[in-house]
């Protein structure tokens, strides 16, 4: 029987000054500093879809989430779930901020429910995008921060999902775990 042991399967070392260049199209290019480490797994963590907008259930966790959904729909005065997913971002050395985004290109309410204490704040920006065109016309170099929210166990962040937002990878904790839900 063959036994393999791999170390550091999530991140690998590189030169501290290495920068990754992501080119989406002619107008959207991003330089991401590594601070000496780069991810082997894209997006620095793991995501588990529970429910998606076509009402397909992707997880056996769905029945256990019913009261969570009901409370959230009532609290936000919305009628439908677009998506619900578990997200875990793993430890990354340095101060790494992910790319700003919106979860859906339509008016919606977004929520983040933190399951653990962590660093790796959620950043909300003043700028909005409710269509794909608006998103791709955004000048990311001029985004202005509206607020930052520190992950704290049992804290819920609810906001207008058309606001561009992002998260940071934890650099002091091993993980940042949350439930992200989008509603209309």
User: What's the pTM?
Assistant: 0.77
Domains and CATH numbers, the chain: 45-183 (2.60.120.620)
Phi first, then psi: give them for residue 107, nearest 5 degrees.
-60, 130
- Altogether, the residues listed in the chain come to a count of 184
- Measure the CA–CA gap between 21 and 38, rounded to whole angstroms: 12
- What CA–CA distance (Å, rounded) separates 50 from 85? 5
Rg (CA), the chain: 18
CB 134 within 8 A of CB 163: no
Each residue's pLDDT expressed in tens, for the chain with a length of 184 residues: 554 444 444 566 788 888 777 666 677 666 777 777 666 555 577 888 888 876 677 788 888 898 999 999 999 999 999 999 999 998 888 888 998 999 999 999 999 999 999 999 999 999 999 999 999 999 999 999 999 999 999 999 999 999 999 999 999 999 999 999 999 9
Which own/partner contact pairs does 59-64 have at CB distance under 8 Å and 24+ positions apart? Answer: 61/86
Copy the structure tokens of residue 144: 């202005």
CB 122 within 8 A of CB 165: yes
Q: Which 8-state DSSP code applies to residue 154?
A: T
């Amino acid at each position: 029987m063959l036994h393999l042991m791999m170390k550091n399967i999530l991140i690998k070392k590189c030169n501290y000054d290495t920068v990754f260049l992501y080119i989406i199209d002619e107008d959207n290019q991003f330089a991401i500093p590594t601070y000496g480490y780069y991810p082997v797994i894209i997006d620095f963590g793991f995501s588990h879809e529970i429910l998606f907008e076509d009402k397909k259930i992707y997880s056996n966790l769905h029945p256990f989430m019913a009261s969570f959904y009901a409370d959230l729909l009532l609290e936000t005065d919305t009628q439908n779930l677009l998506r619900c997913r578990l997200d875990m971002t793993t430890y990354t050395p340095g101060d790494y901020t992910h790319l700003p985004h919106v979860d859906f290109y339509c008016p919606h309410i977004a929520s983040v429910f933190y399951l653990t204490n962590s660093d790796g704040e959620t950043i909300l920006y003043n700028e909005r995008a409710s269509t794909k065109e608006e998103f791709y016309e955004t000048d990311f170099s001029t985004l202005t921060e509206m607020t930052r929210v520190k992950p704290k166990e049992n804290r819920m962040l609810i906001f207008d999902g058309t606001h561009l937002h992002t998260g940071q990878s934890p650099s002091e904790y091993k993980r940042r775990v949350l439930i992200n839900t989008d509603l209309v």
